[in-house]
A and B are shown apart, each in its own frame.
Chain A
Amino acid sequence: MCCPGCQAVAAMIAGSGLDNFYRQRTAYSERPAASETPVREQYLIYDQPELTDAFCQTQEDGSVSARLLLGGITCAACTWLIEQSLASVPGVTEAAVNLQQSRLDIRFDPLVLPLSEIFTRVDALGYRPRPFQASARREQMRAEYRADLRRLGVAGFGMMQVGMFAVALHAGDIQGIQEQYQGLLRSFSLLVSGFIVYYSAGTFFRTAWRHLKQGALVMDLPVALAIGLAWLASAYATVSGSGQVYFDSVVMFTFFLLLGRFLEARVRQRHANNWFDAESALPDAVSLRRDGRWITVPRSQADQGEVMLVQAGQTIPADARVLSGNSAVREDTFNGEHLPRTVSIGDTIYAGTVNVEAALEAEILGSYAQSRLAALQRSVEVAETEKPRLAKMADRIASWFVAGVLLVTSATAIAWWHIAPEQTLWVALSVLVISCPCALALATPAALASAASALRATGVIVRGENALESLSRTTHLIFDKTGTLTEGKLAISRVELLGELTEARALQLAAGLQHWSNHPVSKAFSHIQPGEVFQDVNYKVGAGLQGKLDGRQYRVGSESFCREFCPALPPPPDEQRYWIALCDAQSPLAWIGLDDTLRAEAKAVVRSALTGGLELGLLTGDSSPQGKLLARELGIDDVRTGMEPQQKMQRVQSLQATGAVVCMVGDGLNDAPVLSLADSSFAVAGATDLARTQADFVIVDDVLTRVTDTWQKARDCRRIILQNFAWALGYNLSAIPLAATGHVPPWAAAIGMSLSSLLVVANSLRLNRSPAKEKGL
């Protein structure tokens, strides 16, 4: 068990006889982050009807159907777990999870079971429930998915039908067939394939035409040409009763291509469903003072100028000015740093940051759209549009291919015009059909789908379109520091003893006091067993703690706080660490130095990136000398510290201007703009919530070596794609001369095309073969 959350989940699973989950799941669930507010309370807000209108509907029989968006669903076993455990709750009549959309449709009796209870139960299972908001983008995605499926299904039916006619026709070619039956079979093939070309292949024509108008040659152009010309030629042959028909090839080609693209899109879209949404980080409920009482209202109803209460541990729901209270806020959302900023009356606090120490009353400064968090969201959107677009490999090859095929076809036509004019049309057409780019067009989607599903098994989610191709061409790998190369939390790195205490004893005393604090510093002590229990512990926000043990007063905390108590305290040993002092009234006892520890695997990642020939860089918002030290330790030369988000983006852009392909590795919200600007990006997110992560690749299991593993996989993928292209082009090159000399009957063309496509698919599947990496739970 990795954490109390897992343990609770395991207990619940075993308790309700759902231990099957562990036998059936194919991927590990994400680890639930320790929640800082009581789970149930935060969902009570959903019992208010005005807030739930958007995602709940009351049925005729009084039951309510609700749609929830679930964070953290990883595989089909998750859906099974959620469905099974909810269905056994009294009051629930129906629970169905849609994995593709991470959506839970639940029907329940509101008299038996309040909605907040459903939220709480889902949360207890380790998933993050949120109201499902139907957005235009989500609707559009669903419509596209259905349209793809329709085209694919219709093409499949058509392929079978036309294939049946084709068997008869091919047999007739070999054994002889009466002309009237040949005509009959061809006419029906014409009819069915005409419908398929119109209904299913129409999308290729539209895409090719759209790009052609802008002067771009894409893979869909040779595809559309092959389909269109082969069908027209076959139609002409049918009507004129001469020549050869290729209806079966046309339809089969359409079906396989649609299938390849459908599968590729499906692997990618599963996680693209959760796009970047900074607002989802904010709590839905706000505690406001109205008419002298504290009441809880939905966040959307809180107006500028109202006074809100933010409890310790809560995420601040809106930009506000502190009216009363002292506390510290952790602003890693904006600066990535783990040490909180102390705030008191008159200071501004920002939506999306976390109030760490004590309750604050604050006056709301404006709506979400005016907040600093919304500005972050907008800068991500701007960066997205500025991201350089690398042309897809397939499209670059396509332009050469189209030119080549057209050239060869015209050369053939001219040659035959001189040899045997009556054969010219048919030979030229058979060249076109033989050079049908089926394998060529399948080469990329098959390899990408295969690589993406292999990566998913190792704990990396691929979200960005074209991301694997960009990653394979990376020249510069840029890291963020806090939370990426480092663990993102403080740990005790040095103890400087000042009295006669042993180190263990000093740490035990400090831990005994820190136990009473919820400042992030105290987490560094949580692994130490406190000894005796302190009495009369006083906590001073932003300073430290004081407590009594065996009649002696001790203090632990900041330099000024301890010096006030014990003037003999010497200054801290150095400036590289974050130091806290321990003293009693008479004498200083120890300086305890805290440091953000380097990830254990960081060195291995840097080493393998360097041997792979990548240029490495470190961009950090932290201005302390620690960044430089850490970079030297790792062997990274290009270090820039104290960078504002804007400067980070400029740095990436200036690298891109010199022709570099930049891959950026960051850790979430504060890096979001620079991540979306880089050619490819990783988020080391521990991804409890994909919606708050903006990156092409999300490392779910929090292991940094996935960066280089994925890079390796991307390069393998590129190699496989190139192999596929080489095979497809090689096949075409060797078949075209045969066709140009008039030696290829249509059945041979059909078989050759299918075999060549199968080979490409089989080759792509090799990407999926790597043994699944061991995962830590």
Chain B
Amino acid sequence: MDSLYLLIPVALLLVALGIKLLLWAIDNGQYEDLDKEAWRILSDDKSPERSDSEAESKTDD
């Protein structure tokens, strides 16, 4: 049980890392629009990435 003295601080470090990542993501604007992301998966026929690259290739022409 003495391992608790090591494992709990390690767990806390991981939590701190997680919080840091979360705050970074929030400040980065990744949670600005919580509604759209739920829909993105439904656009199955054309992913935004693909249509973007298509648009780019058309631009190059």
Contact = CB atoms under 8 A, between A and B. Distances in A.
Interface of A: 17, 20, 24, 75-77, 79-80, 83-84, 87-94, 97-101, 109, 112, 142, 145-146, 149-150, 153-154, 157-158, 161, 164, 178, 181, 184-185, 188, 191-192, 266
A94 B33 contact: no
Nearest to A97: B36
Contact of A149 (B12, B31, B55): B31
Contact of B56 (A20, A93, A178, A266): A93
Given A24-B42, A99-B35, A192-B12, A153 B26 contact: yes
A76 B12 contact: no
Contacts, number: 103
B48 A150 contact: no
A475 B46 CA distance: 53
Given A157-B15, A161-B11, A150 B35 contact: no
Contacts of A192: 12, 15
A559 to B, nearest CB: 57
Contact of B33 (A17, A99, A154, A191): A99
B30 to A, nearest CB: 10
Given A92-B55, A149-B31, 5 more contacts: A100-B33, A146-B31, A153-B26, A161-B15, A188-B8
Contacts of B15: 157-158, 161, 192
A154 B16 CA distance: 9
Contacts of B1: 178, 181
Given A79-B36, A80-B43, A161-B12, A109 B59 contact: yes
B36 A90 contact: no
B19 to A, nearest CB: 5
A20 B59 contact: no
A157 B19 contact: yes
B19 A154 contact: yes
A274 to B, nearest CB: 16
Interface string B28-45: 000111111011101101
A184 B8 CA distance: 9
Contacts of A101: 32-33
Contacts of B51: 84, 87-88
A100 B54 contact: no
B37 to A, nearest CB: 9
B59 A87 contact: no
Contacts of A87: 48, 51-52, 54-55
A83 B48 contact: yes
B55 A89 contact: yes
Nearest to B1: A181
A98 B31 contact: no
Which of under 10, 10 to 19, 20 to 34, or 35 or more describes the interface residues of B? 35 or more
A110 to B, nearest CB: 12
Contacts of B45: 17, 20
B8 to A, nearest CB: 5
Contacts of B12: 161, 188, 191-192
B33 A77 contact: no
A80 B23 CA distance: 27
Contacts of A109: 59
Contacts of B22: 150, 153-154, 157
B23 A153 contact: yes
Contact of A184 (B4, B34, B39, B46): B4
B22 to A, nearest CB: 5
A399 B19 CA distance: 36
A149 B34 CA distance: 11
A153 B31 CA distance: 11
Contact of A94 (B8, B32, B52, B61): B52
A100 B32 contact: yes
A91 B11 contact: no
Given A112-B59, A150-B26, A161-B11, A88 B54 contact: yes
A153 B1 CA distance: 31
20 contacts: A20-B45, A24-B39, A76-B38, A79-B36, A80-B36, A84-B46, A89-B55, A90-B55, A91-B55, A92-B55, A93-B52, A94-B52, A99-B36, A109-B59, A142-B32, A150-B23, A153-B19, A157-B19, A184-B5, A188-B12
Contacts of A154: 19, 22-23
B26 A149 contact: yes
A735 B23 CA distance: 38
B35 to A, nearest CB: 5
Contacts of B32: 98, 100-101, 142, 145
A87 B38 CA distance: 20
Contacts of A149: 26, 31
Nearest to A191: B12
A24 B43 CA distance: 9
Contacts of A145: 32
A100 B34 contact: yes
Contacts of A97: 33, 36
A198 to B, nearest CB: 13
A93 B27 CA distance: 24
B1 to A, nearest CB: 6
Nearest to A156: B22
A164 B12 CA distance: 12
A89 B39 CA distance: 22
Q: Which 3 A-B pairs have the closest CB atoms?
A: A76-B39, A87-B51, A90-B58
A154 B23 CA distance: 8
A93 B46 CA distance: 15
B4 to A, nearest CB: 6
